[in-house]
Amino acid sequence: MGVEGIGARVTRKEDKRFITGKGRYTDDMVVPGMKHAAFVRSPHAHARITNIDASAAKGMPGVIDVLTGKQIKADGIGNLICGWMIHSKDGTPMKMGAWEPMATATVRYVGDAVAVVVADTKAQARDAAERVEVSYEELPAVIHAVEAMKPGAPQLHPEAENNLIYDWEIGDSAAADAAIAAAAHVTEVDIVNNRLSPNPMEPRATLGVYDAAEDHYTCWTTSQNPHVARLVMSAFYNVAPENKLRVIAPDVGGGFGSKIYIYPEEIVCLWASKTTGVPVKWVADRTESFMTDAHGRDHVTKVRMAFDKDHRITGLKVDTIANLGAYMSLFSSSVPTYLYATLLSGQYVIPAIHANVRTVYTNTVPVDAYRGAGRPEATYLLERTMEIAARELGVDPAELRRTNFIRSFPYQTPVIMAYDAGDYDASLDAAMKAADWAGFPARRKEAESRGMKRGIGMSCYIEACGIAPSAAVGSLGAGVGLWESAEVRVNAVGTIEVLTGSHSHGQGHETTFAQLVSERLGVPIDSVSIVHGDTDKVQMGMGTYGSRSGAVGMSAIVKALDKVEAKARKIAAHLLEADEGDIAIENGELKVAGTDKAVPWFQMALAAYTAHNLPDGMEPGLKETAFYDPTNFTFPAGCYICEVEIDPETGKTEIIQFVAADDFGNIINPMIVEGQVHGGIAQGIGQALLEGVHYDETGQLLTASYMDYCMPRADDLPSFDLSHQVTPCPGNPLGIKGCGEAGAIGSPPALINAITNAIGTENITMPATPQKVWVAMQ
Amino acid sequence: MSEVTMTVNGRKVSGSCEDRTLLAHFLRENLGLTGTHVGCDTSQCGACVVHVDGKAVKSCTMLAVQANGTDVMTIEGLAGDDLHPVQAAFREHHGLQCGFCTPGMIMAATDMINRHGPGNLDEKTVRGELEGNICRCTGYHNIVKAILAASEAMAKGAGAKAA
């Protein structure tokens, strides 16, 4: 390992601009003639639009135009789509209801876009939006998925009878039933996985610029995957052909999944720019973010887990109802199916698994992937069930887990996934040691002497990252391939640009990707620039989500570097009159092994471009492209332990310690990996303790600001105790598994297991607010 | 419309804006100082913290006209020839990821250290003081570390000029 290579704790190259206020986010972009958009949104959860009168608004100061759904439809702009086809168990395709970029006839959630005002200033646009008179005929609304499935419930889309989108299953139902029938013990648990709002600190924003002379569009947008945005806007929404549409995602202030999707606003601002003849910028305020950013989770599940007399799991049966909101967001269908039920084996040998998943429309904002996406839901139900089972069986929760750990790899689960590597004992041991598990009874006793309730809980999680082999996800219904691209450009002076289809919005790619190049070529990371987020610069890419940028994005860079090195070796061998096989690349030189003959990296690069003296037939230049398609998912895993103290007078939970022992395979930059885990744990603690989206029964969003939706603050959290156990991933060249989501996946059950351990009842739902905890203790 | 004049990052500036224009928007839109961020509508998130007459202020809680005649420092004005010790500590301790909350965090942290006196902070105090600044990326772990480190560095005299 060099000082800047793989494994080095290098400070981030990108930090200087962020700490000096020079970051460039979408809302910071200004172009000549730019005007501002404000959306008119539905105040009702479900209503028919009977009339839109924009005459007063059009006369307001600064207003350029007011545009409606009928106009965008007339111009041929298409409806929003869900890009992953799921079939019900009866073979019928999922029921995708129409999602218009601006509603023409019916609104289906509070915040549904109805019209857009374009004006000189943002304030003028918002003032005018208030004056657009929309007449509605209110319809009954339904908010909870279970209610939406009942006879007589309000119906959202004519395509979806009883609001059912699909009724899907995986695994062997008869085998799971048989295991339960024959079990020595069955643990039954009802699980609610609470609805969350992702809340990246930068609100969504977009700037649409139409150039009439070139008939060309530029879309600045807060996206995790600008190429996917361009593809979808071209292929499905009919905005413009790909060669006439440039999508740029500059600095993006966090995503956590919510910025994967293409929302109505990008489409509308591009179209509005052409319609009005001016560049159009829209920036969400926080209330709009709460109302319109895709939410996460929102599952209701019944679990039955069967054990034999030796406490071995013999079967698992899961029945889940998932709320997908008013429309099917871009990848919404995949989250409660292939990103969820395929992880139901957890870290355990479970011979028979069956899951049934029904997804349902409700009058709420669409639900899609949020950090972890399906895997937190799977982990939460498994690890709550394991904990409750241990308590019912009267065995140590760690021992129950050990009894059932998978220890032989590769391991084929009954639910598609084939785990390639792992050592679950290692992370459990490390976490228990770090948490001083053995010393807990004494700590509990001491807490009791102060009148406090102390509890400890663990969770052993697994996830599937690095999505994924394209053919595999294609066979499961994905509308896109999930490979990644890289281009390595060696300039004539030897500096290097790496163009990647991954997108960094906090993950530190500009540093870690440069570390990989430094490791391979022995050049300082300062001479390496990472280029991303612009469809005019990077040809194609699939973006960043699902903890895939290391395992997939960096593997593509490895492939491109292989090609660059091969050509560089040929050039160096020619210059040094040596055999190509004897050339070693290190410390910025190409050396003839075992001699003092060497050519500096920059001189080789210059030779590639002067082309005065290249091997016969070699093309000038040094630039290589690679596309990497993974051969399998990767399987990060670990053990989290949380210890809490609860004040019985108030029900308030204080987290005393939080230990995370993770196996992410090989690590490029430990500092950055630790940061990812810190942030993930904070979001998981947020879900378990603080956060929850609430709609009232009429569909009004009650948690639409930071005064109502409880974001984790610094004093809600402890410092975290982290360690890494490493089993390299055999499936990719760097042995990387991915680390972006683990914290959010593993932490909620650990915390709830600790709280229920402290208060002695299982009857608590997330978020475990002081009120709920206090009530549970009575 | 009102005319306002203030000193921003040591330079006298003037501009006209609507009476309702917030200081945050005046800085961003009139002066092009886009380092000050707007992350919420309710003065909760703290991404917009600047210093007004030496004190940390959420610039979304103040009208631009209220700042008339004041001395404002934004994130762009914090560093001298070198980074301010708080900026340096955020980089050294990985106290930022996406960077969006970072300017407000750094301005709030600088004010925090100045109020308590360099070297006089502990973890509990820092966590309590950060009540008005939300970060969604870091879990605050490294932000707390960075602020404590900056406080110690400043106690030893680092950045005396910049501070």
**ipTM for this prediction:** 0.98
Across the interface, do B100 and A200 touch by the CB < 8 Å criterion? yes
Q: What pLDDT, in 10s, does the model give residues A665-674? A: 999 999 999 9
**Which pLDDT band holds residue B162 (cuts at 50, 70, 90)?**
very low
A720 in contact with chain B, both atoms CB, cutoff 8 A: yes
Query: Residue A568: enclosing H or E segment and its boundaries?
Result: helix A555-576
B128 in contact with chain A, both atoms CB, cutoff 8 A: yes
**Which pLDDT band holds residue A528 (cuts at 50, 70, 90)?**
very high
Across the interface, do B138 and A682 touch by the CB < 8 Å criterion? yes
The shortest C-alpha distance from A198 to chain B (Å) reads 9
Q: What pLDDT sits at residue A569?
A: 97
Q: What pLDDT sits at residue A468?
A: 80
**Which pLDDT band holds residue A1 (cuts at 50, 70, 90)?**
very low
For residue A646, pLDDT beyond 90: yes
The shortest C-alpha distance from B69 to chain A (Å) reads 24
Mean pLDDT of A471-491: 93
Across the interface, do B102 and A19 touch by the CB < 8 Å criterion? yes
Give the tokens for residue A301: 């599940």
Q: List b or e across A49-75, with b for residues whose CB sees 16 or more CB atoms inside 10 angstroms.
A: beebebeebeebebbbbbbbbbbbeee
Distance CA B33, CA A608 (A): 43
Distance CA A765, CA A773 (A): 9
Preferred mutation among B74, B91, B97 to probe A, highest tally of A CBs within 10 A: B97
**How far lies A594's CA from each of A109, A203, A584, A598, A603, in Å?**
71, 57, 10, 11, 21
Distance CA A357, CA A360 (A): 10
Which residues fall within 8 angstroms of residue A559, CB to CB, at 6 or more apart?
Answer: A486, A626, A627, A628, A733
Q: What pLDDT, in 10s, does the model give residues A681-737? A: 999 999 999 999 999 999 999 999 999 999 999 999 999 999 999 999 999 999 999
Taking the model in full, what pTM does it have?
0.97
Which residues fall within 8 angstroms of residue A193, CB to CB, at 6 or more apart?
Answer: A297, A298, A299, A300, A301, A376, A377, A380, A381, A766
Say how many C-beta atoms besides its own lie within 10 A of residue A696's C-beta.
11
Interface of B with A in 14-73 (CB under 8 A): 18, 20-21, 28, 32-42, 44-45, 47
Domains defined along chain A, listed by start: 31-139+201-254+259-292 (3.90.1170.50), 299-468+632-777 (3.30.365.10), 483-628 (3.30.365.10)
* Residue in the block written with tokens 């100061």: A61
Q: Answer yes or no: are the C-beta atoms of A480 and A466 closer than 8 Å.
A: no
Q: What pLDDT, in 10s, does the model give residues B61-119? A: 999 999 999 999 999 999 989 999 999 999 999 999 999 999 999 999 999 999 999 99
**Residue A522, by phi and psi: left (phi above 0), alpha (psi -120 to 50) or beta?**
left
Residue A8 three-state SS:
coil
| Nearest by CB: A714 against B79, B99, B144 | B144
Q: How many contacts (CB atoms, under 8 Å) link A and B?
A: 181
Q: What pLDDT sits at residue A3?
A: 87
| Nearest by CB: B92 against A11, A505, A714 | A11
Q: What pLDDT, in 10s, does the model give residues A126-177? A: 999 999 999 999 999 999 999 999 999 999 999 999 999 999 999 999 999 9
Across the interface, do B123 and A25 touch by the CB < 8 Å criterion? no
DSSP bridge pairs for A99: A80
Q: Answer yes or no: are the C-beta atoms of B28 and B34 closer than 8 Å.
A: yes
Query: Residue A443: enclosing H or E segment and its boundaries?
Result: helix A440-449
**Which pLDDT band holds residue B158 (cuts at 50, 70, 90)?**
confident
Mean pLDDT of B144-150: 98
Across the interface, do A20 and B35 touch by the CB < 8 Å criterion? yes
A28 in contact with chain B, both atoms CB, cutoff 8 A: yes
For residue A2, pLDDT beyond 80: no
Domains defined along chain B, listed by start: 2-76 (3.10.20.30), 85-155 (1.10.150.120)
For residue B163, pLDDT beyond 60: no
Judging contacts by C-beta atoms under 8 Å, the chain A residues touching residue B91 are 11-12, 15-16, 19
Comparing C-alpha atoms, which of B138, B134, B91, B129 is closest to residue B110? B129
Residue A596 three-state SS:
coil
Interface of A with B in 267-306 (CB under 8 A): 285-287
For chain B, the residue count is: 163
Mean pLDDT of A208-235: 97
